[in-house]
Structure 1
């Protein structure tokens, strides 16, 4: 019995054996334009995020309510009782300090949520996929938040200052520098404080933890200094008072809580240096750690 032979290989069809593309027409061009991405695209994306979430409206709404409401209330109280509650020769704009100090907590909260909330929800993975350049993402978040915080604070403080000057009678007119520091200067400081919170949120990656750290940074120095009764700790106690955030904030209204320490525009440069150092650390960690 003969053994069956395997089938002989056959030559491939001519259309399959031909080398190169079988389509000889013009090259295909996609109708979708290819655009080289840049920082502007990341800024537009972050602007869409910050204006579309409810936390922005709530925190900024409470901030305006505190700054304007407490500022007008303080002005009304002084106007109705000019004898004992008068401000004398002090800067009339200093009455806006109390509302701004409380309102700063809202800016701190919003700054932390701008970054840390994305880590909590996992949205940061989508953000980094859409924009793999991590430093660009952090820069875009910082620019958008700083602009929003500065504009809202400037409008609120300017409104309070104008309203208080209209309510108070017999007080001296603030100088040009006092107007500048009490509106633009203090708004820059609050915006930088919020930006520092944003950076801390990027470092910690936990909303509650970052907010706790920032509130402690605002309140802890004053609280700790109040319980330093030892004479050997007098220098440390004075330093905590002088460089605490509430005291630095009061310098913009020429009502420093201490006789020495920062003056003029010093608090703004201090906050700028601290924020820049924290930003550099956050950038280094963002490039090194996993999302």
Structure 2
């Protein structure tokens, strides 16, 4: 990467991302879905408190029940931010303006990650406080409880890293439809299927969205028998592999 190429690339990527209406619609959807589901689940738990007085009840993870919709929103954001340029041909203009492809890709990933994290973090805190308030004082958690604050930050990091995984896949496939056809089943279908197949369940627990769920939990659960630290390593590995694959695809193929 040439010295001095990154700064103007960052400015260009920030301009492109913030001028897309889809950016703010998808992030607003992630915020609204998570807060709304946090409120609904919190209210349901308060109404049926007797059913949730168990040792393995995790009020923090339960409050993040809308994370699946949040995942879908950030997956769409990552795909559209990258594949959209290839679909419309804008990537050719971008590479004329920033011929250093490493700088171009680094700037895109950095801006996309920063914007997603900037929205995911307040979403995490808003969802946590909404859900825990709705649960009432009997079963809810506070930020001072063991693992609670880590889980809130883990929620934001989880969404951010899934967005970057999606961006990397989109850079390889260069198609919005093809990218979503891979990512949606991977994050929302395959994990549940693998969990029912003897001999494959152990591998399925290392899928990125399942590893990320450990970052958001404060109570261990049987399906994923490793801790938050291992979950972080797993999802970071997926992210690094996807981002690197995207860079290699960008460098080796014509725009």
Is TM more than 0.5 here?
yes
Aligned equivalent of 1:214: 183
Equivalent pair of 1:153/1:187 in contact (CA under 8 Å): yes
Query: How has the CA–CA distance of structure 1 residues 37 and 238 changed in structure 2, closer, same or farther, with 3 Å as cutoff?
Result: closer
Report matched runs for 1:2-13 at 5 Å: none
Distance 2:195 2:154 in 1: 28
Aligned to 2:119: 152
The answer (yes or no) to whether the contact 1:192–1:275 under 8 Å persists in 2 is yes
Pick the aligned partner of 1:188 from 138, 141, 157.
Answer: 157
1-side partners of 2:147 and 2:112: how far apart? 26
Within 1, Cα distance between the matches of 2:68 and 2:48?
Answer: 23
Equivalent residues of 2:34, 2:70 under 8 A apart = yes
CA RMSD after TM alignment = 2.2
Do the aligned partners of 1:96 and 1:157 also contact (CA within 8 Å) in 2? no
Q: Greater relative contact order: 1 or 2 (C-alpha under 8 angstroms, separation 6 or more)?
A: 2
Q: How far apart in 2 are the matches of 1:206 and 1:190?
A: 22
Partner of 2:217, secondary structure, is coil
Contact 1:247–1:256 under 8 Å retained in 2? no
1:131-180: CA deviation from partner (whole Å, max 9, x where unpaired): 10011111111011111111211111101112233332123545455223
User: For residues 106 and 210 of structure 1, what CA distance do their matches in structure 2 show?
Assistant: 14
| Map of 2:235 onto structure 1 | 271
- The 5-angstrom pairing of residues 46-85 of structure 1 reads 46-85=13-52
Structure 1 residues 68, 183: CA separation in 2 closer, same or farther (over 3 Å shift)?
same
Task: Quote the Cα distance in structure 1 between the aligned partners of 2:46 and 2:104.
Answer: 48
* Residue of structure 2 equivalent to 1:3: none
Which has a greater percent of helix? 2
- The 2-side partners of 1:259 and 1:210 are apart by 27
Structure 2 counterpart SS, 1:102: helix
For each residue in 1:20-47, what CA deviation from the matched residue of structure 2 results, as whole angstroms up to 9, or x when unmatched? xxxxxxxxxxxxxxxx843121111111
Tell me how far 1:74 sits from its aligned partner. 0.6
Q: Counterpart in 1 of 2:210? A: 247
- State how far apart, in whole Å, the 2-side matches of 1:226 and 1:98 are: 19
Q: 1:286 to 1:74 in 2, by over 3 A?
A: same
Tell me if structure 2 keeps the 8 A contact 1:67–1:103.
yes
User: What's 2:74 paired with?
Assistant: 107
- 5+ residue gaps, structure 2: none
Following TM superposition, by how much is the alpha carbon of 1:186 offset from its aligned partner in structure 2, in angstroms?
Answer: 2.2
CA contact (8 A) 1:101 1:246 kept: no
Secondary structure of the residue aligned to 2:159 is helix
> Among residues 203, 207, 218, which one is paired with 2:172 in the alignment?
203
Aligned length: 250
Contact between 1:201 and 1:207, CA under 8 Å: does it hold in 2? Answer: yes
| Partners of 2:192 and 2:241 in 1: CA distance | 25
- Describe the shift of the 1:122–1:65 C-alpha distance in structure 2 as closer, same or farther (beyond 3 A): same
